[in-house]
Structure 1
Amino acid sequence: MASNFSQINKTVKAVLKTLSPRNRDILSRRFGLIKGKKETLESIGASYKITRERVRQIEEATLKQLAKNISALPDAQFHIETVKNIIDDHQGVIKESGLFGIATGSEKETAQNSGLVFILTLSNKLERFSENDTYHAFWALSGEHSKGFKAMTESLISTLARHNNVMSKEELLSLARKTNVSGFDSQPLNENHVNLALNVSKKIDKNIFNEIGLAAWPEIQPKGVRDKAYLVLKKENQPRHFSDIARLINASRFDNRRANVQTVHNELIKDNRFILVGRGMYALSDWGYKAGTVKDVLVDILRNAQKPMPKAQLVAKVKDMRMVKENTILLNLQDTDIFHKQEDGTYKLKEL
């Protein structure tokens, strides 16, 4: 596909040749047609000793002038129609960098890509949406396509927010369909729609385990060691030693920063999402584990039971919550200030 756009710079020169040197320079710098990097109204105005508003007026008037003649240039029309076909193949909406990658072979800011944006802007046949806090820059076949895409994306975001948990793509599709979320291109909601939303929206994303959620969630974009530890431990779904958690963080390659074992241990201690359940072994409080010593766990079990319990049953329940030896549990039960052993061998709290 890139070869189809190899002459884009030549087409741009043909479009600009009718302009005065100043107007040609202003448009070239505003669109980044020379180096690929756009210049601000202020910097251009300073070089010509005119106001930024005057630069904006010149840009607007010159674009209107050129737009009237763009249909008479076969090369320009070829590029425009080719891009329309590309966007049509992508449900009618495409991220701008993705369009660049398909059209020119590079997603970076290049003169060739800037030239493509310039030609498409003059055509008025496609809708461009600049990057903002919600979306990356993207193109749409029409205002109807962009409106439908945004509505669909907002519905997917609402579905995630309502369930407040990361999920697989299949789970998201299933939940969204149950609330009548539909596609925007006359097609039922499908995997391609979700992929497009993930690609263009800044509000939803997926983590390294391909789980989808809101971009602001730490399980999607972990901010530090604690969030990374939570994510890998949740994925493991079983208690792990803090040194193993550090190893799992590094193996997951969240970023270029390497997790130090002692740092990981210190962060686990500070965060109530993690519960110490054995010597250096940590579990997630999400799994039902509670903070406290073995004695605290015994007290909690008996208090919730509201009746005496056999030793074997107590040991089994503690082992469900802590990775400790049976002797450690029995040693704690010998605290007669807290526990009372009855004649039948069962235990109760002294307070009950």
Structure 2
Amino acid sequence: MRGLKAQIHRLEERIDLFRMDAINLPKRVVSLLKTEGINSAGSALNFVVDRLVEQPGIGAITIKGAIEAAGTFLAKLDVMTEEDFAQLNDPGERFLRETNGNIAKAFPTIVELYHSKSVAAARGRNLDVIQKRFGLNGSPEYTLDEIGTYYDVTRERIRQIEAKTIKQLDKILSGSLTTKYWMLPQVISDNYLRLRERLGDFDLLVTERQINFLLTGEYGATLESGYLNLLMETLGYAKLMESVLGFRGTIEKSWYEKSRYKKSDFEAIFKSLNAILDSPSQYPLFDILVSIKKKAKLKISNEEISAAIAAVSDFEIKDDVISVKIECLGSAADKAFRILDVHGKPLHFSKIAREINLLSKEQPDFSPISERNLTNQMVSDPRFIPIGKSGEWGLSNWGNYKNITIVEALEQILHKSGKPLTLYELRSEIKTLRSDASDRSIMVYLHDANLFTRVSKGIFGLKKWRLTAAPKRERKKIVGNNEFAAAVKSILIAENPTPLKNAISIISDRTNLSEVTVRQRLAAIEVVQIRGVSGKHHSEVYCENIELLDLVTSNCRTLLRDQIQDEIRAILYERPNQPLRKGELFKLVTKNVKCLKPTFYQYLEKMDDIDTEKNGNNIFVIYRHLEVDSRIDFNVQQYSPSPDLMQKLSRALSKVTLEEVDIALFEFGVLFENAIRAYLVALRKKAPARVSGNDLSKLAAMIDCAVREKIVTKGHHLNVLREERNNRAHGNIPSKAEREALYNKAHYIADLFLKYICFFDNEARKI
């Protein structure tokens, strides 16, 4: 025994190339080895040497015969030359060992060995049948009838050859059938069984894409189409038909489990799916399953229908809703229907066209659809309805949209009521006619004096009713410290001292402040004295050095309330009708005015011109302003412009209208930049150390210089004007909607321009 073990170890590489049958062991031992699942010569020899003596029912004669057979086999191997060995060692079997269990590489060779080592007389024909049936090695695929005709046998005989080959290949690969003249490495059988388990993880079908991904991931390679189909058949899967008479969809190359599904059922299912291909609508999967079962009139499982749907590449399923992929829809109108159906709200035709082109760009024959083509199709299609003259389109089946403009809807609502309605009532009613109408659009149209009349605060009627219009609400004017000081200065230049009563009256007229407020603010200016007149009952206002009034911004004792409220207005007036979260507003205010949150909230609540709105847990602050006048007028004289400057300003002032507001702000921006530059140039000549050449390089640098040298304290205001100057100089021509938004804030922005243009011009003249 010890000698046999040594020989087995020495000849191990050669032994592994042979099957157990090559040893010629006694039949009793062969039966025992098969029971143990042993097929290779190496495993059989080790069993005979190590374990045979221990086996019950094995006599001494059988053991002796087995040892003699083993010795004879080893002796032959020992004296065999390399040439003799090469003749016995089939190249195909050698290749199988070298694949190390790689199914993708080994399977074609296994098919070849199965047929070439067969004892059947018709093995050449059988191999040819399989090659022609599955299109192996570059051969075209033929039907059973065509192959049967070629060999002069029946269609059924060809089917039997195919079925037997597939069945035996499965048994060989799974290890349940031992081949007599060639040996399959055990690792290939193990990998074959593991592949079958992996395929079982797929719920419905196995697509070509999935099996290729699986094979490439496991073995770094896949099989050509014919061998892949044969392998899937061997594993118990049948190829799904790629076309069905009466079905126009594209069926992806797939395989289904023969034990779970029937081919005839799939044909009936595909024919029933034609109705979905013609529709851009989305359908619940439940409804489709019920519909197909009724149409097919067969006992078909839900699994089978779901498998068929999954195989159609034209379909997509999301959240148990099935629909045709948008790129597979036939017409632009169908694609537009899908987009509107998904969004659930009207969209502008340009946006619909963009989405169609974006979603269809992966098509091989992609050609972008034009907006004209799209609108022409939607106009002639009753499924669509235009939303007024807005360019937006909706779906007719929505029901809550009509082809009516917002103006027509407002007129219809007012005619039905027969009386003026509040803004809230109009907003509520218009949602039934034009649910897409925004509050801003409603407000803009209601302030069209040619169509509607505002009879009181928030109440509107029709112009044709000839109702008395409510007086225009006077816009509250914000008077800053600089403006107030300029008004005081102009009075004292004319007469210093001047009677207090006269000064209060004149300043009140110029600033629209109440006389009480004027008196309080006069008393807060440190450089101004309010003193009694000897021998008279009235007081007078006196300033020892009028020039000190130019420093009033830094020296004036302004109330914290006024500082907070002025800063709030400065921030919100720049963005009329744009909500801002209260917390964000507090952060912006405290950048310039230090205060506590409770103080900020207290003074915010007391502002009548600022509204607050609650949306969920958030509170928003908004300055509502809609400019209804055709032209905005300004009190320029309050800023004491020189005659030359007034002449330059007149052109820009004449253009502050809805149609030319962008041009007006552009011209104000040019005058503003020229004014600050002229002042800094004059200051540089007087005090070169204060202004450098870089400070004059661009507008942003000039503003930084003005703030740094404390010429102004509201650098925030100057930067707002700089942004507006850049927007008008370098931005695109504004659209109608953008111009309306610009006009709504022009009363504030233009007034800021005027204030600082006059300020820098006056300061330059003093130098």
TM range (shorter): 0.5 to 0.7
The structural deviation recorded for 1:199 is 7.4
Partner of 2:692: none
Say yes or no: does 1:114 pair with 2:249: no
Instruction: Report if aligned partners of 1:127, 1:139 keep a CA contact under 8 Å in 2.
Output: yes
The structural deviation recorded for 1:49 is 7.4
The CA deviation string for residues 19-67 of structure 1, in whole angstroms up to 9 with x for no partner, is 4433322220111112275223465467x374xxx36234223235433
- Mapped to 1, the partners of 2:400 and 2:313 lie a distance apart of 32
Task: Report the secondary structure of 1:27's partner residue.
Answer: helix
2:111 to 3, 9, 12: 12
Partner of 2:376: 266
The structural deviation recorded for 1:275 is 1.8
- Mapped to 1, the partners of 2:209 and 2:139 lie a distance apart of 13
Q: Where do residues 72-221 of structure 1 align in structure 2 (5 Å cutoff)?
A: 72=178, 74=184, 77-78=189-190, 80-91=192-203, 94-103=206-215, 112-121=224-233, 123=234, 126-128=236-238, 130-131=240-241, 137-140=254-257, 143=259, 145-146=260-261, 165-166=282-283, 197=307, 200-202=310-312, 205-206=315-316, 210=318, 213-215=321-323, 221=328
Say yes or no: does 1:226 pair with 2:333: yes
Task: Report the secondary structure of 1:214's partner residue.
Answer: strand
- Residue identity over aligned pairs, in percent, reads 17
198 and 64 in structure 1: CA distance in 2 versus 1, 3 angstrom threshold: closer
91 and 236 in structure 1: CA distance in 2 versus 1, 3 angstrom threshold: closer
The structural deviation recorded for 1:331 is 7.9
99 and 283 in structure 1: CA distance in 2 versus 1, 3 angstrom threshold: same
- Mapped to 1, the partners of 2:309 and 2:102 lie a distance apart of 25
Instruction: Report if aligned partners of 1:94, 1:200 keep a CA contact under 8 Å in 2.
Output: no
Name the amino acid aligned to 1:114: G
- Mapped to 2, the partners of 1:22 and 1:300 lie a distance apart of 88
Instruction: Report if aligned partners of 1:30, 1:41 keep a CA contact under 8 Å in 2.
Output: yes
Instruction: Report if aligned partners of 2:131, 2:139 keep a CA contact under 8 Å in 1.
Output: no
Name the amino acid aligned to 1:225: A
1:23 to 126, 130, 135: 126
The structural deviation recorded for 1:103 is 2.3
The structural deviation recorded for 1:227 is 1.7
Say yes or no: does 1:245 pair with 2:352: yes
Q: What is the TM-score when the length of structure 2 is the normalising length?
A: 0.31
Task: Report the secondary structure of 1:320's partner residue.
Answer: coil
- Paired residues in the alignment total 293
| RMSD across aligned positions (CA) | 5.1
249 and 114 in structure 1: CA distance in 2 versus 1, 3 angstrom threshold: same
The CA deviation string for residues 229-270 of structure 1, in whole angstroms up to 9 with x for no partner, is 122234444433212221121122363231111111111212
The structural deviation recorded for 1:226 is 1.0
- Mapped to 2, the partners of 1:329 and 1:16 lie a distance apart of 92
212 and 44 in structure 1: CA distance in 2 versus 1, 3 angstrom threshold: same
The CA deviation string for residues 124-173 of structure 1, in whole angstroms up to 9 with x for no partner, is x6243533759863233x72x559xx9xxx9xx9xxx9xx8457xxxx79
Partner of 1:349: none
Instruction: Report if aligned partners of 2:314, 2:328 keep a CA contact under 8 Å in 1.
Output: no
The CA deviation string for residues 328-352 of structure 1, in whole angstroms up to 9 with x for no partner, is 999899xxxxx9x88999xxxxxxx
- Mapped to 2, the partners of 1:238 and 1:24 lie a distance apart of 63
The CA deviation string for residues 69-114 of structure 1, in whole angstroms up to 9 with x for no partner, is 7433536745641331221333585335522431257xxxx96342
The CA deviation string for residues 168-195 of structure 1, in whole angstroms up to 9 with x for no partner, is xxxx79xx9xxxxxxxxxxxxxxxx9xx
Instruction: Report if aligned partners of 1:30, 1:38 keep a CA contact under 8 Å in 2.
Output: yes
Name the amino acid aligned to 2:178: A
- Mapped to 2, the partners of 1:3 and 1:224 lie a distance apart of 48
The structural deviation recorded for 1:222 is 2.6
Partner of 2:393: 282
Instruction: Report if aligned partners of 2:353, 2:371 keep a CA contact under 8 Å in 1.
Output: yes
The structural deviation recorded for 1:307 is 6.0
Say yes or no: does 1:320 pair with 2:468: no
Task: Report the secondary structure of 2:321's partner residue.
Answer: strand
Partner of 1:32: 135
Name the amino acid aligned to 1:326: Y
Instruction: Report if aligned partners of 1:27, 1:59 keep a CA contact under 8 Å in 2.
Output: no
Instruction: Report if aligned partners of 1:32, 1:111 keep a CA contact under 8 Å in 2.
Output: no
Larger RCO of the pair (alpha carbons < 8 Å, separation 6+): 1
Partner of 2:76: none
64 and 268 in structure 1: CA distance in 2 versus 1, 3 angstrom threshold: closer
Task: Report the secondary structure of 2:386's partner residue.
Answer: strand
Partner of 1:179: none
The CA deviation string for residues 300-334 of structure 1, in whole angstroms up to 9 with x for no partner, is 9669x98656455457615536687737999899x
Name the amino acid aligned to 2:114: V
- In structure 2, the gaps of 5 or more residues are 1-99, 290-302, 453-461, 469-767
Instruction: Report if aligned partners of 1:233, 1:239 keep a CA contact under 8 Å in 2.
Output: yes
Task: Report the secondary structure of 1:39's partner residue.
Answer: coil
Task: Report the secondary structure of 2:136's partner residue.
Answer: coil
Structure 1 residues 13-22 or 310-319, which shifts more? 310-319
Instruction: Report if aligned partners of 2:237, 2:256 keep a CA contact under 8 Å in 1.
Output: yes
Instruction: Report if aligned partners of 1:219, 1:231 keep a CA contact under 8 Å in 2.
Output: yes
- Mapped to 2, the partners of 1:300 and 1:72 lie a distance apart of 91
The structural deviation recorded for 1:4 is 3.5
Name the amino acid aligned to 1:280: G
Instruction: Report if aligned partners of 1:275, 1:291 keep a CA contact under 8 Å in 2.
Output: yes
- In structure 1, the gaps of 5 or more residues are 177-192, 334-338, 346-352
- Mapped to 1, the partners of 2:144 and 2:450 lie a distance apart of 77
Partner of 1:62: 161
Structure 1 residues 5-14 or 72-81, which shifts more? 72-81
Instruction: Report if aligned partners of 1:128, 1:139 keep a CA contact under 8 Å in 2.
Output: yes
Name the amino acid aligned to 2:322: L
Partner of 1:180: none
